[in-house]
Structure 1
Amino acid sequence: MNQEDANKITSYLSFRLGDEVFALHVSKVHKILGMTEITEVPRAPAYMKGVINLRGNVLPVVDTRIKFGMTPSEKNKSTSILVIETSISGESILLGIIVDAVQAVLKIEAEDLLPPPSIGKQYQSEFITNMTKVKDKFYIILDMDAVFSSDTMLNIKELVDARESVTKDH
């Protein structure tokens, strides 16, 4: 799908990490898998959970909670792996990200997208494309390319602070 066609889509997939709800554009999501056995990769970064076999292809899997500075994921019946397409160093790759639960597909029109907040230079707003409010709930819309092209660990508290600063303004 080219970028122009992707921009016409107004659907976002929301998912939960701990008590926080995030969203990403559906054009980035290829598949939603139930939790499965993951083969560890020696000497990988802490957030790299390992790899799985996806139709004969090796798919790297990231523990998104660790990447976001949270405690590691604990497998339960709602734990899922989102197979997303992301661009790392200009190369498009498929990557599995572990989420606590997949929530819903949200239809969000362009006029409902709020700019990411500016809450100081230490805050990593490059990981957030937008914020939005759907039925009195704010969602942080992530730029997965920025999240996974950086070895920087995200600080979930900063993301929550960002959401709360937008909540106060609207």
Structure 2
Amino acid sequence: MNQIANTEHSIQHLSFRVRQARYALPIELVREIIEYGQITSVPMMPACIHGVINLRGNVVPVLDLAARFGMERTAASKRTCIVIIELELNEVQQRIGLVVDAVDAVLDIEGHEVEPAPPFGTGIRTDFIAGMARNEQGFTIILDVRRVLSLDDILQLNRVMALAG
């Protein structure tokens, strides 16, 4: 069972949409949400890596979640955002931007509301899913962001950082 389902208290999550599906990440990983803007492309990167942005003097790699999930790259609209998350990668705090179609809300998700990922039917790889939270609107897929950002992606992102830095 995942760590979310084992907790008795609620955990805040940022909910957002990629295509028509609702996803969420623990709010503790989210640093900020910025409007989709100028992204500098970096040659020879996988399709899911849009490039880098300058965030107050820091170079931040940007990953397109739709492309990572095997869909077409996101075409920016007025609601497209970049969710800036921070993870510890190779013992260093790393900020990464995630392109999403729209940000919805901050949800309080109770541990008992979370179910394990079904073996099929979510549209993305089940190992990307930490759990499924049921609410009035249906299900919200809680992402395991460390799985979404595979080791290969992390190495690619570090290469982007080295090239851009």
Q: Paired residue for 1:41?
A: 42
Q: Paired residue for 1:164?
A: none
The CA deviation at 1:150 is 4.3
**One-letter identity of the residue aligned with 1:116:** A
- SS of alignment partner, residue 108 of structure 1: strand
Contact 1:129 1:143 in 2 (8 A): yes
The C-alpha deviation readout for 1:12-57, integer Å capped at 9, x for no partner, is 1111011111111101111000011100111111111000001110
**1:125 correspondence with 2:126:** yes
Unpaired runs of 5+ in structure 1? Answer: 1-6, 153-170
Q: Residues 86 and 140 from structure 1, CA distance in 2 versus in 1: closer, same or farther, beyond 3 angstroms? A: same
Q: Residues 150 and 68 from structure 1, CA distance in 2 versus in 1: closer, same or farther, beyond 3 angstroms? A: farther
Distance 1:125 1:59 in 2: 27
Q: Paired residue for 1:29?
A: 30
The CA deviation at 1:151 is 4.1
Which of 70-79 and 107-116 deviates more? 107-116
Unpaired runs of 5+ in structure 2? Answer: 1-6, 154-165
Q: Paired residue for 1:103?
A: 104
Distance 1:90 1:130 in 2: 26
Q: Paired residue for 1:140?
A: 141
Contact 1:63 1:73 in 2 (8 A): yes
Matches within 5 A, 1:1-170: 10-89=11-90, 91-119=92-120, 124-151=125-152
The CA deviation at 1:89 is 4.9
Distance 1:11 1:18 in 2: 22
The CA deviation at 1:117 is 2.4
Distance 1:142 1:41 in 2: 26
The C-alpha deviation readout for 1:51-103, integer Å capped at 9, x for no partner, is 00011100000111111111111111100000012344554411001000001
Distance 1:141 1:27 in 2: 13
- SS of alignment partner, residue 50 of structure 1: strand
* Residue correspondences, number: 143
The CA deviation at 1:9 is 6.0
**One-letter identity of the residue aligned with 2:144:** D
Bigger helix fraction: 1
- SS of alignment partner, residue 98 of structure 2: strand
Which of 76-85 and 110-119 deviates more? 110-119
Contact 2:10 2:111 in 1 (8 A): no
Q: Residues 124 and 150 from structure 1, CA distance in 2 versus in 1: closer, same or farther, beyond 3 angstroms? A: farther
TM-score (norm 2): 0.79
The CA deviation at 1:118 is 3.6
Distance 2:129 2:25 in 1: 10
Q: Paired residue for 2:163?
A: none
